[in-house]
Amino acid sequence: MTAETTAAAPQVSTALLTDQYEMTMLQAALADGTAKRQCTFEVFARRLPAGRRYGVVAGVQRFIDAVEDFRFGDAELAMLEPIVDRPTLEFLADYRFDGDIDGYPEGELYFPGSPVLSVRGTFAAAVMLETVALSIYNFDCAVASAAARMSSAAGDRTLIEMGSRRAHEDAAVAAARAAYLAGFDITSNLEAGRRYGIPTGGTAAHSFTLLHDSEEDAFAAQIAAQGTGTTLLVDTYDITKGIETAVRVAGTDLGAVRIDSGDLGVLARSARDQLDALGAKQTRVVLSGDLDEYAIAALRAEPVDSYGVGTSVVTGSGAPTAGMVYKLVEVDGRPVEKRSENKASLGGRKSALRRHRSSGTATEEVVFLAEGQHPEPDERDVVLPIPLVRGGSRVDGLPALVDSRRHLKDALVTLPWEGLKLSQGDPAIPTTLLLPGH
């Protein structure tokens, strides 16, 4: 065992995962006293990626972890010494977020304008969390939102996330988590298994077949090590021969075959027929290779058991970032808003509820001022934000990852039927702003 390396490292500070201007704004605000003003910052998306009908909130627990680790140690302060003045460094040395945070729970749906996160505290306390909050929400929501569409397309078939190699190595771990949240069943990423308890799995690479003197030798070695329940990759040379060899070596109890290239729909059908003819009726067919939600949907009629998805899920299937922003909406109880062209913000601290028909179908997202006139809630309305942090401490009893996964599954069922369509369309439900003057 090597002692000097460990994945369970001491807390690493998140404080420098931050844009420099947060620190220089802090210095100026400390100097003129405005740093003490009570502020509310809100995170929201002005729009969904083109044609998407809903978004999925992800990254909530990761953000709260990052807030807890947002501390300035010697290394952080040394970096900042040439950038900010002495009083600012002293403030940072003692910094610990001590405000309140509310937000949509992980696994909740969101729509344009949904106030998915609300960070409250002094300007000094809250402004610095901007960059890390957006990094986490923009990435995790992008992956979860794409993954949820793939999960809808896959129905009851198993989804394996295997995109680690197509994403930054640490982003890959977060992507595995977001994909699992959004309905994927398994990840190939070992660190995601270790850190978040997500089920891990895998098959074999073409290199394993090429390493051996023959495909038969490779299959025999894999079965000797993993048992007949394993998944054999059969497309290194010739798929028909590969399947024949696989069943000859493993017997008809072979767990699965994987096909990673070619016309997957045709190949799935012929693989199924061949397996059945060979008596391997329980052997599953796993497909991979540039699958996205559209390809998965197109394979619905084919005899596929599992999909392995890589690039498309970890890159948000065309929308690699969720476009969320972190905007100051209230200062000392007074609503504030910018009026920049096409980028205006709406002042005032907000809450939201989602209205439903008696059938349970969602009809409308209503955004209203948290301290203004509330809309009349009826028993089918769901108030969306929940408390996440109080006085700087994580609220007890926040949903675990598996709970959030179930929450999303349930939430998707409430969408109007067009909401689950993969084709381009409007948001599945409208957002109504009950904001005085708007």
Site for a copy of itself in 266-305 (CB under 8 A): 289
DSSP H or E run through 308 = strand 306-309
Residues 313-332 that bind a copy of itself (CB under 8 A): 314-316, 320-321, 323, 326-328, 331
CB contact at 8 A, 159 and 185: yes
* Sheet with strand 382-383: strands edge to edge: 382-383, 350-356, 362-369, 431-434
The two tokens of residue 35 are 């740093």
Residue 383 engages a copy of itself in binding (rule: CB under 8 A): no
Distance CA 264, CA 268 (A): 6
CB contact at 8 A, 189 and 171: no
CB contact at 8 A, 145 and 322: yes
Q: In this structure, how many other beta carbons lie within 10 angstroms of the beta carbon of residue 398?
A: 17
Chosen residue from 3, 359, 373, 424 binding a copy of itself by CB under 8 A: 3
Cβ at position 196, least distance to a copy of itself in Å: 12
Residue 424 engages a copy of itself in binding (rule: CB under 8 A): no
Q: In this chain, which stretch among 135-143, 297-305, 379-387, 410-418 interacts with a copy of itself, using CB under 8 A?
A: 135-143
The two tokens of residue 88 are 């600012």
Residue 343 engages a copy of itself in binding (rule: CB under 8 A): yes
Cβ at position 81, least distance to a copy of itself in Å: 11
Report CA Rg, the chain.
25
- Choose between 39 and 287: whose C-beta lies nearer to a copy of itself: 39
Q: In this chain, which stretch among 26-34, 109-117, 146-154, 382-390 interacts with a copy of itself, using CB under 8 A?
A: 26-34
- Choose between 35 and 247: whose C-beta lies nearer to a copy of itself: 35
CB contact at 8 A, 398 and 388: yes
Cβ at position 414, least distance to a copy of itself in Å: 29
190: amino acid identity, one letter: L
Crossing angle for the helix pair 401-413 and 130-154, to the nearest 10 degrees: 60
Residues 195-234 that bind a copy of itself (CB under 8 A): 200-212, 217, 220-222, 224-226
Residues 34-93 that bind a copy of itself (CB under 8 A): 34, 37, 39, 41, 66, 69, 71-77, 79-80, 83, 85, 93
Q: In this chain, which stretch among 113-121, 268-276, 333-341, 368-376 interacts with a copy of itself, using CB under 8 A?
A: 333-341
Maximum distance among all Cα pairs of the chain, rounded to whole angstroms: 80
Cβ at position 36, least distance to a copy of itself in Å: 11
Chosen residue from 47, 51, 98, 169 binding a copy of itself by CB under 8 A: 169
DSSP output for 324-341 = EEEEEEEETTEE-----T
Cβ at position 285, least distance to a copy of itself in Å: 16
